[in-house]
Amino acid sequence: MNNKEAIIQKIIDDANAVAEANIAEANNTAEQILARAKRQVDRFAESNLGKTDELYRQAMERSEVVANLDVKKLLQGRKKQIIDKAFDEALDAVKADKKTYLALVEGMILSCCEDGDEVIVAKEDDKVITKKLIADIAKKSKKSLKKSDEFGEFKGGVILSGKNYDKNLTLELELSLIKEKIESNIDGILFGSKD
């Protein structure tokens, strides 16, 4: 090999050595960068794991609260249906005993009637609360009363339609007033609670 070829070979060998050194340094730097990135990812994951657990716990607590509220709403709705049904049945029971029912209607009319009142009855009570009954109550009260030709949109009782104002003596109103007074106790009586 001559000098020229030896110089070329030397340049190639030196270039290869530099290239290998550069590659080794680049690989080393890449490994350091990857190791640092992995440590950062691990630290991020570790620090956020607690946050993720806390977010999960909070989400579960919120879900539980919402579920409990939904259950309470459903339970309250069902309790209201049961109580409403009980009062509907009470209304039917009051009307079932005609003698007692007529005495109740008479008592309500006598306690509130004014001279010139018209007595409005429910359509289903037309044959029960008759013109004769109203005439008898008018004699007892010594006031002018008459049975209206109109029917009321209620289940029982009467409305006294006066010159200045009407008096609602319907069973629905009377029972709702009773229900309102004892409502806080009804829940406890029927369901063993005060919610």
Q: In the prediction, which pLDDT does 168 show?
A: 94
Q: Which residues pair with 151 in a beta bridge?
A: 121
Produce one character per residue of 148-170: b if its CB has 16 or more CB atoms within 10 Å, e if not: beeebebbbbbbbbeeeeebebb
Q: In this structure, are 91 and 102 located in the same domain?
A: no
Domain boundary among 96, 119, 134: 96
Q: In this structure, are 110 and 84 located in the same domain?
A: no
Q: In this structure, are 143 and 163 located in the same domain?
A: yes
Averaged confidence pLDDT in the chain: 82
Q: In the prediction, which pLDDT does 103 show?
A: 92
Q: In this structure, are 67 and 156 located in the same domain?
A: no
Q: In this structure, are 92 and 2 located in the same domain?
A: yes
The edge-to-edge listing of strands for the beta sheet with 117-122 is 145-152, 117-122, 157-161, 166-170
pLDDT in tens, 101-156: 899 999 999 998 899 999 999 999 989 999 999 999 999 999 999 999 999 998 99
Q: In this structure, are 118 and 180 located in the same domain?
A: yes
Q: In this structure, are 179 and 128 located in the same domain?
A: yes
**This model's pTM is above 0.95:** no
Question: Which pLDDT band, with edges at 50, 70 and 90, does 161 fall under?
Answer: very high
User: Collapsing DSSP states into helix, strand and coil, what is residue 102?
Assistant: helix
Q: In the prediction, which pLDDT does 159 show?
A: 92
Q: In this structure, are 9 and 82 located in the same domain?
A: yes
Q: In the prediction, which pLDDT does 22 show?
A: 75
The share of the chain scoring above pLDDT 90, in percent, equals 25
2 or 77, higher pLDDT: 77
CATH number at residue 126: 3.30.2320.30
Q: In this structure, are 92 and 126 located in the same domain?
A: no
pLDDT in tens, 24-58: 787 788 788 777 877 887 777 777 766 777 777 88
Q: In the prediction, which pLDDT does 49 show?
A: 67
The structure tokens 């005439």 sit at 135
Q: In this structure, are 111 and 83 located in the same domain?
A: no
Question: Which pLDDT band, with edges at 50, 70 and 90, does 4 fall under?
Answer: low
Number of domains in the chain: 2
Residue 8: which domain range? 1-96
Q: In this structure, are 103 and 40 located in the same domain?
A: no
Q: In this structure, are 82 and 55 located in the same domain?
A: yes
pLDDT in tens, 54-105: 777 888 888 888 878 888 888 788 877 877 887 888 888 888 889 998 999 9
Domain boundary among 48, 79, 96: 96
| Residue 151: CA count within 13 A, CB half-sphere | 12
Domain boundary among 45, 69, 96: 96
